[in-house]
Structure 1
Amino acid sequence: MNDLTDIKNLDDIKLLVDSFYTKVQQDNLIGPVFNEKIGNQWPAHLERMYRFWQTILLEEHTYSGSPFPPHKHLPVAKEHFNRWMEIFTETIDGLFQGKLAEEAKLRAKNMAEMFFYKIEYFRNGGRNFFES
């Protein structure tokens, strides 16, 4: 029997974010990238992520800013984004079930794909994959 419920409030967002980033910090592939970039600023990063997901999923507009610029120069490849998405999906599926849980996975997938392509675009001097 599955007792999981959907994401309903800020406490659920905090549970999601805290659980996800605990796994991220310990992951062999993406942990070093996050830990190097964030350093001792994890509490501030988590607060920002609470506001981001609260805005995205609960439509409570507590986040403002541009999420991409801090990621622009990260030393990441497609495998990093795949692992990020794998951990995110596992975290959601282990904690929640419902419409907003599915929405969170869709939003995360779209964001990961966009960030990957934008990072590659900047690395290639403003050229995309389809240009020679």
Structure 2
Amino acid sequence: MTSRRIPLVEPKANISESLIETLVRTFYGRVLEDETLGPIFREVIGNRWDEHLATMVDFWSSIVRSTGRYSGKPHLAHQDLGLDLAHFDLWLNLFETTARDVCPPDAAELFIDRAHRIADSLQIGLDIGPKALRLPKKAGSGPSSA
């Protein structure tokens, strides 16, 4: 069971599109400066940063404002990146710090709660960490089947 408080009333009225954009741009600026996460993002995103940031604004708008603007598949986007639990911990710590730096407290807590839920879902889907399902691999699949 988690010790994080889950907001009962979501402060949607306090979360503007402008706040979401500020959070996304500030966060990914910090990601690029991170010695572990930066190289991963630069390699995967390349020169498509404006596109990626717009997608992330749509993603978070869908998550915290229920706008429905995002329709991607995050699990597929992350499946071949070689991520491990340490990457998720770094991402979450950086996101939490950024949310607290740029958002009002109630909005920051909502973003942080949702970020943890998203990270848990991705870890389960990518078979990473203690919450992963650890489904047995099918015979003849995976790297050793070549």
**TM class, shorter-length:** 0.7 to 0.9
Deviations along 1:38-65, one digit per CA (max 9) or x if unpaired, are 1111110000001111111112222222
Partner of 2:143: none
The amino acid that maps onto 2:90 is: R
Q: Which amino acid aligns with 2:65?
A: L
Structure possessing the higher radius of gyration over alpha carbons: 2
25-34 or 80-89, which moves further after superposition?
25-34
Alignment check: 8 A CA contact 1:33 1:75 kept = no
What are the residue-to-residue correspondences of 1:17-28 with 2, within 5 Å? 17-28=24-35
TM-score (norm 2): 0.75
**C-alpha distance in structure 1 between counterparts of 2:78 and 2:14, whole Å:** 26
> Aligned residue for 1:38?
45
4+ runs deviating over 4 angstroms:
none
Structure 2 residue matching 1:40: 3-state secondary structure:
coil
Kept in 1, the 8 Å contact 2:75–2:122? The answer is yes
How many corresponding residue pairs?
A: 122
Instruction: Verify: 1:60 aligned to 2:67, yes or no.
Output: yes
Whose RCO is larger (CA < 8 A, sep 6+)?
Answer: 1
Task: Give the conservation status (yes or no) of the 8 Å contact 1:13–1:50.
Answer: yes
Unaligned 5+ segments in structure 2 are: 1-12, 138-146
8 Å contact kept, 1:7–1:101: no
Q: 1:120 to 1:97 in 2, by over 3 A?
A: same
CA contact (8 A) 1:7 1:98 kept: no
SS in 2 for 1:61: coil
Q: Structure 1 unaligned runs (5+)?
A: 1-5, 122-126
In structure 2, the residue matched to 1:77 is 84
Q: Which residue of 1 aligns with 2:106?
A: 99
Q: Which residue of 2 aligns with 1:124?
A: none
